[in-house]
Amino acid sequence: MTGLPRKLLTRSTDFILLIVIIIVWEIVTSGLRIIPAYLFPSFSQVVSRLSSEVVSGKVLLAAAFSLYRFSTSLMIGVFGGILVGWILGWYKLAYRIAAPLIYSLYPIPMISLYGLFIIWVGLTDQAIIAVGAVTAFFQVLLNTITGVKDVDPILVRAARDYGANDRQIAVKVVFPSAVPLIVAGFKLAVIGAFIVDVTAEMIFTPPYSSGLGWSVAFYAFIQNDPAGTLSALLVLAIVGGVIINFAEYLDKKAARWRRAIKE
Amino acid sequence: MIRGMSKFFVDRESNSPFAALGPIDLEVYDGEFLCIVGASGCGKSTLLNIISGLEKPTEGVIVFTNRKTKNRPTNLVFQELALFPWRTVIDNVRFGLEIRGVSKEESIKIAKKYIRMVGLEGFERKFPYELSGGMKQRVALARALANDPEILLMDEPFASVDYQTRLRLQSEVLRIWETTKKTIVFVTHNIEEAVFLGDRVVVLTPRPGRVKKTIPITIPRPRFEESRFKEDFFHLCGTIQMLLKEDLQYSEGSV
Amino acid sequence: MNRNLTRIPSYIDPLGSLAFVIVVLLWESLSTWGLIDVKFFSSPSAIGSTLYLLLASGKLWPHVYTTLYRSLLAFTLAGVLGILVGLLMALYRQIDRQLSVVFGVFYPLPKVALVPILMLWLGLGDAPVITVGAISALYPVLLNMIAGVRRIDATLVRAAMDLGANYSQIVVKVIIPASTPAILAGLKLAIAQSFITVVASEMISFAPGGVGLGWLVTSRGYEGDVSTVFAGLVSLAIVGGSLLLLADRFEKKLLRWRREER
C-alpha cells in the first residue's frame, strides 16, 4: 500500500479481489436473496440508483454545496494558518505566549467545536464552514510554525554573512525552506477540512437542503433508504478520492522540492 | 587434531552477463588464518558470501571436508556488523544458540564465555547504541564465535574503526585465533593488516575476481607490534602491493 | 509531520502559563462586567462550576466512560488487525496488491459517513461507533507496519540467516522487533484517529438520551447550553491529552534501545 492513494493501477490483476467481493455482494443480495434488499441493496441496485441521481442532477447539486463549503473553509483556514503560523514561528515571544493555547487545543477533535459554533451562528452554512476553517487553520498553523522555526540555522547565518537583512532572510531563506512543510500542512488541512465538513453536514440533518454528507445522513436517518445512502457514499468516496489525490500530488511535488533544497 | 580441507570452485554472474567472480579454485586448510586482499570491487565480499552460503555460485561448488557438526559450517562477521539493536550484548551473542534451541542457561553460559574472550566482560546488558565502534566489533566477533563455526569468515570487519583501535583489534583477533584454533578467512583491502594477520595471503584481481597469487607469509608467530617494522614484513607488503598495482591500471582509469 | 510541536514538552514555560492565566482572567472579567454576552461565550467560572456539578453529580462520568471505552476498543481492534494484516501484506506481494486496492477504495471516504448506514444495519448502540472508529484507526497501523517492514536493514536479515535462522524465526526474531518503532508510531496515530472518529460518530447519532462526549457537546450545543459545551470541550481535551500522553510514555518505554548515537 505504499503510495497507495496516488499510484495508478500498475496491473489490472490487482483488482481481482475487489471484483470478487463485488460479485459475491451481488450474488448474496440479489441472486440468492440471503440478505433482504431493503436492508442491504445489491451492487446493481446501488449503481442504478446512483445513475438516476446523477442524471437528475442531485449529485451535482450536492457536490456543489459541499465543495463550496469545503473550499471556503480551506481558503480561510490556510490563509489564516500561514499568516499566524509565520508570526508565531518567527517571533519567539509570540510563540511562547500562544503555545499553551495551542497545546491545550491540540487533543480536542476539531469537529467537536461544531457544538460551539452552533450556538454562535446557528445551524447554518457558516457553522460548517467555520469548523472546516478551524481544522484547516490548525493543521497549517502547526506545520507553518515548524517550517519557520526549523530553518537550518546555518543557512540563516550564511545569509546574514552576506549582509541580508531580516526581510531578505525571511523571503529568500526562511520561506523557501518552509514551503515544503507548509504544503504538507496544506495536504493535512485538505483532508481534515473535507472530513470535518462532511461530518458537520451530517449533524442535525433537516435544516440543510443539500450537500454530500447531508445526503448520506438524509437517506439513512430520514428516509431509511439504504440504496440511496450507499449511492451517496459512493459519490462521497469518489469526490474525496479526487480531492485527496490532488492534495497528495501537491505534497509529493513539494517533497521533491525539499530534497532539492537540502542539497 | 582434525585435518580439514575445503575446496572452492566459484563462478558467478549477475544480471547482465558479466562474470563478477571466477573461476576460482581455492583451498583453505584447517586451522589456518587465510587473508584475502584485493581492491574494492574485485568481489572479495561476494566470495565470502558464497562461502557462507548466503549467495549461490553460478557454477561450481563449495566443499567442506571432515565436518564436525551438522550445523552451518561457517559464520560471518559482517562489514556493517549487523548487531540487532533491540537486543543486549549477551542476547546478541547468544542469538545463534537460541536459534538452534540451546537452553537459555546453557546459551547464557556459552555467551558469557565468549564475551569474556573478546574482553567485554561487564557489558553483557548494554545495548549496541551504548557501545563504541570497537566494542561493537567485538560483540559481532563474539556472536560469530559463540556458534563455534568450523570456519570463521570476516568481511573487512575493521574498516570502520579508527587506526589505533584497528591495530588493537588485530592483535585481539590473533589472540583469539590462537586460543580457539579456528580456521579464519579474513577479507581486507588493507595490505599491512593481511600480512600481519595471515598465514597465507590470497591476492584477488578485479573483474573478474580471480586468484592472482597466493603468498605464504613467512613471518614467525607469535607476531607482535614490532613484527611490523621488520624487513620481511615490508618485503611481503611490497610484493603484494606490486601485484595489486598491476591490476589497478586496468580497472578504473588512473586516478 | 508535526513531530516537533507535538512532542510533549518536558518543561512548563512560565511566560506561556502566565499568558494563559491572563487570558482566562480577562475572559472572566469581561463576562462579569457584561462586556461579552454570556449566552454566547460563558465564563471560566460558569464553565468551572458546570464542570464541577457534572462531575459531582456523576452525570459526566457515563459520557467520559463511553467515549473512552469506545475509543480504546476501536483502537485495540484496529491495532491487532492492522499489525497482522500489515505483516501479511509486507511479506507477501500478492496479498499486498489485492488488499491495497480494496483498502484504497475506502481510504478517501470519511469513515464517519459510514455511521448512518451502519446504524440502519446494527442499531443505535456502540457497534456502529466502534466499527467506524476501528476502520479509521486501521489505516495508520497498516501503513506504518508495511513501511516499517520494508525499511528494515537487509543486513540484519542476512545476519540472522548466517546464524542459522529459518523463515519463521526470521519473522519472529528479526522482522517484528526491527519494525517495532514503526508499529508504535502507527499505534500512536491510531489512538488519536480512533478517538477523533469516535467523538465525531457520537456527534452524528443525535438521538436524545444518547451517551458520549461527542453527543454531549452537540446536543447541548443544539440547546444553547454554552457552559456545558465548554465543559465538554475541556473534558475532551483532558481525555484526549491523557491518551496521547500515555501513548507517548508507552512508546518511550518500549524503545529504550532506540536512542541513536549522534
pLDDT value at position C192? 95
Q: Which chain C residue has its CA at the smallest distance from B52's CA? A: C162
User: Closest Cα partner for C217 from C204, C208, C228?
Assistant: C228
B76 vs C contacts (CB less than 8 Å)? 159, 162
Amino acid at residue number B12: R
Mutate: best of B71, B74, B88, B95, partner C, most C CBs <10 A? B95
SS3 A14: helix
Mutate: best of B46, B84, B156, partner C, most C CBs <10 A? B84
Q: What is the mean pLDDT of residues C46-50?
A: 86
Q: Please tell me which of the candidates B52, B86, B128 has its beta carbon nearest to residue C177.
A: B86
CB contact under 8 A, B82 and C261: no
Amino acid at residue number C227: S
Q: How many CB atoms lie within 10 A of CB C224?
A: 13
> How far is Cα A173 from Cα A170, in angstroms, rounded to an integer?
6
CB contact under 8 A, C174 and B100: no
Decide if C174 touches B, using CB distance below 8 A. Answer: yes
Count Cβ–Cβ pairs < 8 Å, chain B vs chain C.
Answer: 60
Between chain C and chain A, are at least 3 CB pairs below 8 A? yes
Kindly list the distances between the CA atom of residue C189 and the CA atoms of A191, C1, C193, C195, in Å, as whole numbers in the listed order. 15, 11, 6, 10
Total tally of structural domains belonging to chain A: 1
Burial B137-168 (b: 16+ CB within 10 A, else e): bbbbbbbbbbbbbbbbbbbbbbeebeeebbbe
A191: domain range? 46-262
The edge-to-edge listing of strands for the beta sheet with B33-37 is B74-77, B151-155, B183-188, B33-37, B200-205, B210-216
Q: Classify residue A21: in a domain, yes or no.
A: no
Sequence-ordered list of residues with C-beta below 8 angstroms from that of C69, at least 6 positions apart, any chain = none
Q: What share of chain B is helix, strand, coil (3-state, %, to 5)?
A: 40, 25, 40
B neighbours by CB contacts (3+ pairs under 8 Å)? C
pLDDT value at position B54? 82
CB contact under 8 A, C163 and B80: no
Q: Which chain C residue has its CA at the smallest distance from B48's CA? A: C162
pLDDT value at position A207? 59
Decide if C125 touches A, using CB distance below 8 A. Answer: no
Q: Which chain C residue has its CA at the smallest distance from A218's CA? A: C116
pLDDT value at position A212? 87
Integer Rg of chain B from CA: 18
Q: Please tell me which of the candidates A100, A220, A224 has its beta carbon nearest to residue C16.
A: A100
- Cα of first residue to Cα of last residue in chain B, in angstroms, is 49
Q: Classify residue A3: in a domain, yes or no.
A: no
Q: Which chain B residue has its CA at the smallest distance from C256's CA? A: B86
Of A34-48, A235-249, C133-147, C245-259, the range with the highest mean pLDDT is C133-147
C neighbours by CB contacts (3+ pairs under 8 Å)? A, B
Provide the pLDDT confidence category of residue C261 given band limits of 50, 70 and 90: very low
Q: What is the mean pLDDT of residues C104-117?
A: 91
Q: Classify residue A19: in a domain, yes or no.
A: no
Q: How many residues does chain B have?
A: 255
Provide the pLDDT confidence category of residue C56 given band limits of 50, 70 and 90: confident
Q: What distance in Å separates residue C86's CA from the closest CA in chain B?
A: 21
C153 vs B contacts (CB less than 8 Å)? 82
State the CATH number of the domain containing residue A247. 1.10.3720.10
C105 vs A contacts (CB less than 8 Å)? 18, 237
Sequence-ordered list of residues with C-beta below 8 angstroms from that of A230, at least 6 positions apart, any chain = A41, A46, A49, C117
Q: Classify residue A128: in a domain, yes or no.
A: yes
CB contact under 8 A, B82 and C155: yes
Q: Classify residue A98: in a domain, yes or no.
A: yes
A254 vs C contacts (CB less than 8 Å)? none
pLDDT in tens, C201-244: 999 876 666 788 988 888 888 888 888 899 999 999 999 999 99
Q: Classify residue A12: in a domain, yes or no.
A: no
CB A254 within 8 A of CB A176: no
DSSP type of residue B102 = -
Q: Please tell me which of the candidates A145, A221, A233 has its beta carbon nearest to residue C5.
A: A145
C175 pLDDT above the threshold of 80: yes
CB contact under 8 A, B99 and C178: no
Q: What is the mean pLDDT of residues C131-139?
A: 96
User: Would the CA dihedral through B139, B143, B145, B150 be positive or negative?
Assistant: negative
List alpha helices for chain B, DSSP H.
44-52, 89-93, 95-99, 104-117, 133-146, 163-180, 191-197, 231-248
> How far is Cα C68 from Cα C152, in angstroms, rounded to an integer?
34
Decide if C93 touches B, using CB distance below 8 A. Answer: no
DSSP type of residue B209 = B
B224: region left, alpha or beta (phi > 0 left; psi from -120 to 50 alpha): beta
> How far is Cα B112 from Cα B93, in angstroms, rounded to an integer?
8
Q: Please tell me which of the candidates A1, A102, A106 has its beta carbon nearest to residue C142.
A: A1
ipTM value for the complex: 0.86
Q: Please tell me which of the candidates C101, C119, C239 has its beta carbon nearest to residue A18.
A: C101
Q: How many CB atoms lie within 10 A of CB B226?
A: 8
A126: region left, alpha or beta (phi > 0 left; psi from -120 to 50 alpha): alpha
CB contact under 8 A, C89 and A224: no
> How far is Cα B47 from Cα B187, in angstroms, rounded to an integer?
9
User: Closest Cα partner for B180 from B234, B114, B130?
Assistant: B114
Decide if C109 touches B, using CB distance below 8 A. Answer: no
CB C39 within 8 A of CB C224: yes
CB A50 within 8 A of CB A235: yes
Between chain B and chain C, are at least 3 CB pairs below 8 A? yes
Element at B205 (helix H, strand E): strand B200-205
CB B126 within 8 A of CB B136: no
> How far is Cα C24 from Cα B65, in angstroms, rounded to an integer?
83
HSE toward the beta carbon, residue A52, CA cutoff 13 A: 7
> How far is Cα A193 from Cα A139, in angstroms, rounded to an integer?
9
Residues of C (46-105) whose Cβ lies below 8 Å from A: 89, 96-105
Q: What distance in Å separates residue C163's CA from the closest CA in chain B?
A: 5
For chain C, domains (ranges, CATH) are 44-258 (1.10.3720.10)
pLDDT value at position B108? 93
State which residues of chain B have pLDDT below 50: 1-7, 15, 253-255
pLDDT value at position B182? 87
Question: If 0-12 CB within 10 Å is exposed, 13-18 middle and 19+ buried, where does residue A161 land?
Answer: exposed
Residues of C (167-196) whose Cβ lies below 8 Å from A: 195-196
> How far is Cα C140 from Cα C186, in angstroms, rounded to an integer?
5
CB contact under 8 A, C164 and B100: yes
Q: Which chain A residue has its CA at the smallest distance from C150's CA? A: A2
CB contact under 8 A, C173 and B85: no
CB contact under 8 A, C164 and B84: no
Cell of C261: 548515537
pLDDT value at position B7? 47
CB contact under 8 A, C196 and A219: no
> How far is Cα C224 from Cα A120, in angstroms, rounded to an integer?
9
Mutate: best of C26, C50, C233, partner A, most A CBs <10 A? C233
C164 vs B contacts (CB less than 8 Å)? 71-72, 96, 99-100, 147
pLDDT value at position A6? 46
Instruction: Divide the 263 residues of chain A into consecutive groups of 10 and give the mean pLDDT of each group.
Output: 50 82 84 69 85 85 90 95 92 87 90 90 88 95 91 83 78 83 91 93 73 85 84 91 90 77 58
Sequence-ordered list of residues with C-beta below 8 angstroms from that of C51, at least 6 positions apart, any chain = C60, C231, C234, C235
Q: Which chain B residue has its CA at the smallest distance from C166's CA? A: B99
For chain B, domains (ranges, CATH) are 1-73+151-255 (3.40.50.300), 82-148 (no CATH)
Q: What distance in Å separates residue B54's CA from the closest CA in chain C?
A: 7
CB contact under 8 A, A114 and C221: yes
DSSP type of residue A228 = H
Decide if C97 touches B, using CB distance below 8 A. Answer: no
Q: Please tell me which of the candidates C156, C164, C259 has its beta carbon nearest to residue B72.
A: C164
B46 vs C contacts (CB less than 8 Å)? none
Q: Classify residue A105: in a domain, yes or no.
A: yes
Amino acid at residue number A9: L
Q: Classify residue A193: in a domain, yes or no.
A: yes
Cell of A130: 467555520
B154 vs C contacts (CB less than 8 Å)? none
pLDDT in tens, C70-104: 999 999 999 999 999 999 999 998 899 889 989 99
Q: What distance in Å separates residue A202's CA from the closest CA in chain C?
A: 6
Cell of C244: 496521547
The edge-to-edge listing of strands for the beta sheet with B19-29 is B19-29, B5-13, B62-64
Cell of C200: 465525531
Cell of A169: 532572510
CB contact under 8 A, C113 and A150: no
Q: Which chain C residue has its CA at the smallest distance from B149's CA? A: C163
Query: Which is it for strands B19-29 and B151-155: parallel, antiparallel or unpaired?
Result: unpaired
Amino acid at residue number C156: L
Cell of C70: 469506545
